[in-house]
A and B are shown apart, each in its own frame.
Chain A
Amino acid sequence: MRDMDDINDINDDEEPVEGEEFDLDLLEEELRRAAAILDPVPPELRQIAVEAFALHDLDAEIAELTFDSAVDALPVRGAVEAPRMLTFHAGGLTVDVELSAHGLMGQVLPPQTARVEVLRGPQAGSPLSTDAMGRFTYDEPPTGPFALRLRTGEATLVTDWLTV
């Protein structure tokens, strides 16, 4: 690794000389100030995070992400455009989702009707319905933060948030 060479070619392991720790603390403090000027948290992002409190919902069950082809599958050579497959689990329910450049397709298992919302943030998402087989489709390819909210007969589920 380049870094290791980088680090080792100076007086790394010398005992700190008197007053050095103080100097390094000052340097770190200067960096902190520089970051506040040159790379602060964008105010619009901070505002979105404040509004995200609306996503706090103790009644909704979280459907955990148990498979994500972006992480769990070996990349297929040349298959850059391959759809991303996601599986979520909550209680006895499974939600399979396939994301591609054309939008998303999903299915609730065991098959049942549900109302589905595609969430991009704290605001209400686009409402969809499943067919009798539990399948649903959405024509817009989601990008950015993404989750699904599902309302079945008995329960409300929200999938783990992820970035697509």
Chain B
Amino acid sequence: MDRAHVGALVRAAVDGDAAAWKALVEGLSPLVWSVVRSHRLSDADAHEVYQTVWFRFAQHLGRIREPDKAGSWLASTARHESLKVLKSLRRLMPTDDAQLLDRVSDDRTPEQSFLDLEDAAAETERIRRLWQEFEGLGERCRQLLRVLMASPTPKYQEVSVALGIAVGSIGPLRQRCLRRLRARLEARGAV
């Protein structure tokens, strides 16, 4: 999604344009999902938080002060709602990341079908290994990289509010974390 259009889409949606709303959902869902996933929530909690964020966005749509920064609004709301759910006492279920690794064979995404067509078992294995090493990173790196993985690439302003870190420290931290990941892959002979 061209982020230059976000403000225009928000304004159109305020005026009742359902197609504009849909475009916002399509374009910004991966960001919201990445922010939620970067926090250690159970699958069920992650699903609920994602929904709450969008319900809140729909509710506040006409009152958002800077429509051009709707991505930051969503990222910030996703962070706060995730932290709140983590804080509430009854939710003590950790994320079971092992399940994620099994999803390659379960869910059929377009990318997965493509991999099937290519008969790229080796490719699948490489992605699995990449994900495993990513999951093994320290919490800070895992969080940052999970947010950066949103598609399209999030703006640093969005990453900043998603994780509560200064915009200026994102670049250096990103570099460290990617180096760290590469070092882990090299150690496993996976590069």
A155 lies within 8 A of chain B by Cβ: no
Option from A12, A40, A48, A80 in Cβ contact (under 8 Å) with B51: A48
Residue of B nearest to A58 (CB): B62
B37 touches A (CB below 8 Å): yes
- Report the minimal beta-carbon distance from B171 to chain A, rounded to whole angstroms: 10
- A7 and B25 within 8 A (CB): no
B21 touches A163 (CB 8 A): no
A27 touches B (CB below 8 Å): yes
Other-chain contact of B127, A23, A38, A40, A68 (Cβ < 8 Å):
A38
Q: Does A153 contact B (CB under 8 A)?
A: no
Q: Given contacts A24-B175, A56-B16, A58-B14, list 6 more A-B pairs with CB under 8 A.
A: A7-B141, A31-B130, A37-B112, A50-B22, A56-B61, A163-B84
Chain B interface size, under 10 / 10 to 19 / 20 to 34 / 35 or more: 35 or more
Docked complex Cα distance between A163 and B34 (Å): 18
Residue in contact with A37 in the complex, picked from B32, B48, B127, CB distance below 8 Å: B127
> Which residue among A1, A52, A53, A70 has the maximum number of chain B CB atoms within 10 Å of its CB?
A53
Report how far A162 CA is from B107 CA in the complex, Å.
29
Interface residues of A (CB under 8 A from B): 1-4, 6-7, 10-12, 16, 21, 23-24, 27-28, 30-42, 45-46, 48-50, 52-58, 62, 68, 70-71, 75, 80, 84, 121-122, 143-145, 147, 158, 160-163
Given A28-B148, A37-B115, A121-B51, A52 and B58 contact (CB-CB distance below 8 Å): yes
CB distance from A160 to the nearest CB of B (A): 7
Q: Are A39 and B139 in contact (CB-based, < 8 A)?
A: no
B183 / chain A contacts, CB cutoff of 8 Å: 10
Provide 26 A-B residue pairs closer than 8 Å at the C-beta atoms, listed in order of the A residue: A7-B138, A21-B175, A28-B145, A28-B148, A31-B130, A32-B149, A34-B127, A34-B131, A34-B149, A36-B151, A37-B104, A38-B104, A40-B33, A42-B47, A46-B26, A46-B29, A48-B54, A49-B50, A49-B51, A50-B25, A52-B25, A52-B51, A53-B22, A56-B21, A144-B51, A160-B56
Q: Are A53 and B59 in contact (CB under 8 A)?
A: no
Asked whether, in the complex, the Cβ of A39 is within 8 Å of the Cβ of B100, the reply is yes
Query: Which 9 pairs across A and B sit closest by C-beta, in order of nearness?
Result: A3-B138, A6-B138, A49-B54, A55-B58, A35-B149, A3-B140, A70-B88, A161-B55, A24-B178
| CA gap between A53 and B23 in the complex, in Å | 12
B55 touches which of A58, A80, A145 (Cβ 8 Å): A145
Chain A residues with Cβ below 8 Å from B14 are 56, 58
